[in-house]
Structure 1
Amino acid sequence: MNLGEQLKNLREQYNMSREELAQQMNVSRQAVYKWETNKGYPDIDNLIRLSELYKVTLDELIKGDSSFQKKIAIDEKKKIGNDLSDPGFYLGIILVFVGLFLDLGSLSAGVTILGLLTMCFYDDFKQIFWNIKRDFKQEK
């Protein structure tokens, strides 16, 4: 049984409407609907609250849903991937060294700061770039 079916069955066992559950969980009724139809998944905080509400373990909630387990595994790999093999780290280091060791006059401090920001926010910069590129293509 997948997570959505299990959440719906548990809610019905407790004789609750989606609206009542949504109020108790402090989410929208649409969020509960998405969870129960597998169009979305509750975050970890809501999973914990659901397990407490229905008096079941987290393991019991998610064990039967292999697609949800795969989603968790993929999300974990994304988190693990942020290490020294990140191209933003290397690009940032290069910019820092250029700013520190090459005589660029008043630009040196700016290049160094840009390098530090690139090291920290490379993924965000990349996402902004792709969003701008996508928006530009849609306007044409």
Structure 2
Amino acid sequence: MASPADSPVHNITTKAQFDELVKTTPYVALQAHASWCGPCKAISPIFNKQAKENTSEKFAFAKFDTDDVPDLAFELGIRSIPAFFFFENGDKDSDLMGAVPPKLTAAIGGYAEKAKGGAEEKPAEEKPAEEKPAEENTLKTDENF
């Protein structure tokens, strides 16, 4: 198992640390989570895998615990977690709420292409070739199982 130091995902512990990352990296994918959040724990391996496959000089991945950095959670207007935010050239470009693996993978893939100089349209608006029923795209939790 890789140590946290080997992880391509930056662990944000202060708002200033996050501000610096967004200022110095053209594309940033940010995961908001909490240690007590079951859906956050379920989607984190997917986010980490995408980070491992797509991190570059132009595309960084970061995460923060909303309980540890409440000023950043407040600034982003987080009302539920997990939440994912995508920044382009220092500005919040799009967001994705909830643990929905296909949508997260598609959004990250779109930003990875943009970071490589590819796609121009927002990836969160892309539709998969064949949409699965909503219940198949929803992470099962105690509340909706």
Higher relative CO (Cα under 8 Å, sequence separation at least 6) belongs to 2
Comparing both structures, which one devotes a greater share of its residues to helix?
1
Same fold (TM over 0.5): no
TM-score (norm 2): 0.23
More strand by share: 2
